[in-house]
Amino acid sequence: MGASKIYSFVNAPAVEREESAVSSIEFARQTLKKEIVALEELMQGLGPAFDTAVDLLCAATGKVITSGLGKSGIVAGKAAATFSSTGTPAVFLHPVEAMHGDIGLAQKNDIGLLFSNSGETKEVLEVLQAFKRLGLKTIAVVGRKRCSLGEFADCSLDAGVREEACPLNLSPTSSVIVALALGDALAACLMRRRGFTEEDYSRLHPSGSLGKKLLLRVKEIMHGGDDLPQVITGTPMSETLYILTSKAMGAVIVTDASRTLCGVYTDGDLKRTIQQSKDFLDVKVNEVMTADPVAIREDRLAVEALALMENRLSQISVLPVVDKENRVVGIVRLHDLVRAGL
């Protein structure tokens, strides 16, 4: 019986429903507009309470404990994840589980960040009480200015909206977006106040593409040792050609006897040498090499090597790699950087 009722509801003739000339795309735009308006009103309404919240978060030497129930709990969980990934240790505490032992994760130097659209959610108020007993400072993000949670928290942020984006003005939609945005704004301000950098971010995201870009060093992807295509100045082209083809790096690095960088000779240079010299095998490599080429230190970031290659007037595909004394230790190719995900 239940299944048939569901079927008849889903497949009810269109004439039984309210007809509308508005297309789905237009209706979606109207929905998004409501959420945009809510965000604009939030932005215009920010005041001293927000500064206070940021000060409280900065002053806390422990972690941020977020909490909320239902959709507010989802917002709280996202806020905790954002704080943690941007240098502020944070954890989400489910308000029901908190009252069954999980409140034990709270310590005196922590701070509570509680989300509730109504500001009257019983379970969240119980968490507030528990935090108060432990002496924690608390920040409330609420949808109503006059509510119990906002009244008893140390700081209250207004996340109220005039209208939900839901066509019935019932389901939390605009209010969820506003609460999420407030959490993001708090995290962004903390990053700025604490001088959180891209390198700091990369340490917390070592497996992500940004982590690769910011942490990968040239020495980790360069070719060195027996793979290094190197000749010294004065080497004839016959020997240079053997190194160039057998190492298959697209170039040979030319050094003096002490391995100090002198030049680079590439596959493209070989073509020009053949065209311009009848006895090209007797030509010395230092006579046709590119002298004083651009190079990169082995301890520099791989992304810097990529920038050096891409920013040249005529794009280059290989770079000599040197140590602090300008001694050649390797070669890095554009192909290696691309393969590394840069």
Rounded to whole angstroms, what are the CA distances from 13 to 38, 133, 299? Answer: 35, 58, 70
Rounded to whole angstroms, what are the CA distances from 25 to 21, 28, 177, 257? Answer: 12, 5, 20, 71
pLDDT of residue 158: 97
pLDDT of residue 5: 46
Instruction: Round to whole Å and give the CA distance between 273 and 319.
Output: 21
Instruction: Round to whole Å and give the CA distance between 68 and 96.
Output: 10
Instruction: Round to whole Å and give the CA distance between 241 and 266.
Output: 10
Torsion angle of the four alpha carbons 109, 115, 116, 121, in this order, in degrees rounded to the nearest 10? -40
The answer, as to whether pTM is greater than 0.75, is no
pLDDT along the chain (342 residues), means of 10: 45 47 90 96 96 96 97 97 93 96 94 97 96 96 95 96 94 96 96 85 65 76 92 92 90 93 90 83 88 91 85 77 92 86 70
Structural domains in the chain, CATH included, are: 20-196 (3.40.50.10490), 218-339 (3.10.580.10)
CA-based max dimension of the chain: 95
In three state form, how does the secondary structure of 141-189 look? EECCCCCHHHHHCCEEEECCCCCCCCCCCCCCCHHHHHHHHHHHHHHHH
